[in-house]
Amino acid sequence: MNRLVYQAIRVEYSRQPVLKISVDGTQVTNMGQYTLPSHNTFRGRRITLPVSTTGYVPHLEIVAGTGNSYQSLLQNDQFEAVPIENFSQQQLFHYYDVGLRGSASGTLTIYVDGVVQEQTVTYTPTGSTDNIRIYFDPISYGYIPHIHNTGIDSNDFEILWARPVALPPRFYRGLRTHSEFQITYKGSVTLEWFLDGLSKGQYSFDSTEVVGQDADGNDLSAYITKTEKAYFPSGTVGHVLQYKHTNPASGGKIYMIETDQTLADLEQQAMRPQVEEG
């Protein structure tokens, strides 16, 4: 039997049961009286588990709830787990790409090998589903990334999925001099660049544009998708270049960033002849 890293549990329930979760007979930290968000009809929900929840045999128990027969409030449950052997390769992590749903705020906290990262974001999803990126600390080499909602457990807030993204190799391909960068974004974005773990400054962008006028002749503005160019300070020379969106809770989205060096790498790769497989 393989030792597993438990990441979340999917449950289908109604009303508001209170759960106790354990692994190998030991209660999971802060999961002894976990109050689920309330809803009157049966629906599914994904609940993330705390960092470093590992073991062999998980167990879920309903310890309280609304109504006289609260044991029947839960219909299905399934733990999400990955064998610990799957985390055998060290990576340089850049950010978590996260899908969200809910009407209340949650707090997104991320980790590498059990170590909490500096960027913790409290956020309320907009629309039926939402998407946000949470950034790892500079030079975050490690094996096991993790994300957990450390906010109020009974809030209507759900991490639908979370995908850790490694820094692309073109951003740490030897000693290089970076002169400028190009960003495609939407909304309000504050960007901080790091070179070999040291800050190279912050850059603020805002894509507000006038898109028309109302009946009284007042301007109507909205966020549009925009591409801009900016310049690094003189002497931006190093090995590992990475950025962090410092205010992701503002709703601003970064779609693409490339420097003069990484863009040249992409163009060179695109020009390489394709070899037919025989």
Question: pLDDT tens digit string along 242-259?
Answer: 999 999 998 899 999 999
Judged against a pLDDT cut of 60, whether residue 78 lies above it is answered with yes
State how far the Cα of 201 lies from the Cα of 194, in Å rounded to an integer.
8
Segment 198-225 shows an average pLDDT of: 85
Separation between Cα atoms, residue 109 and residue 97, nearest integer Å: 13
Mean pLDDT of the region 102-119? 95
As a whole number, mean pLDDT of residues 84-106 equals 95
Tell me the CATH number for domain 169-271: 2.60.120
pTM (2 d.p.): 0.89
- Minimum mean pLDDT range among 92-96, 178-182, 199-203, 267-271: 267-271
pLDDT digits (tens, 9 = 90+) for 146-185: 999 998 888 999 999 999 999 999 999 999 999 999 999 9
**What number is the average pLDDT over the span 15-29?**
92
From-to residues of CATH 2.60.120 in the chain: 169-271
- Residue type at 164? P
> How high is the pLDDT of residue 3?
95
- So what's the pLDDT on residue 275? 53
Both structure tokens of 195: 């070179």
- pLDDT for position 278: 44
Per-residue confidence (pLDDT) for residue 7, from 0 to 100: 96
Q: In the prediction, which pLDDT does 70 show?
A: 59
Mean pLDDT of the residues in the chain: 90
State residue 71's pLDDT score: 58
Report the percentage of the chain scoring pLDDT > 90.
69
Tell me: pLDDT of 272 over 80: no
At 128 the pLDDT is 82
Give the pLDDT confidence score for residue 74 in this predicted structure: 83
Q: Give the pLDDT band of residue 133 (cuts 50, 70, 90).
A: very high
Predicted pLDDT at 276: 56
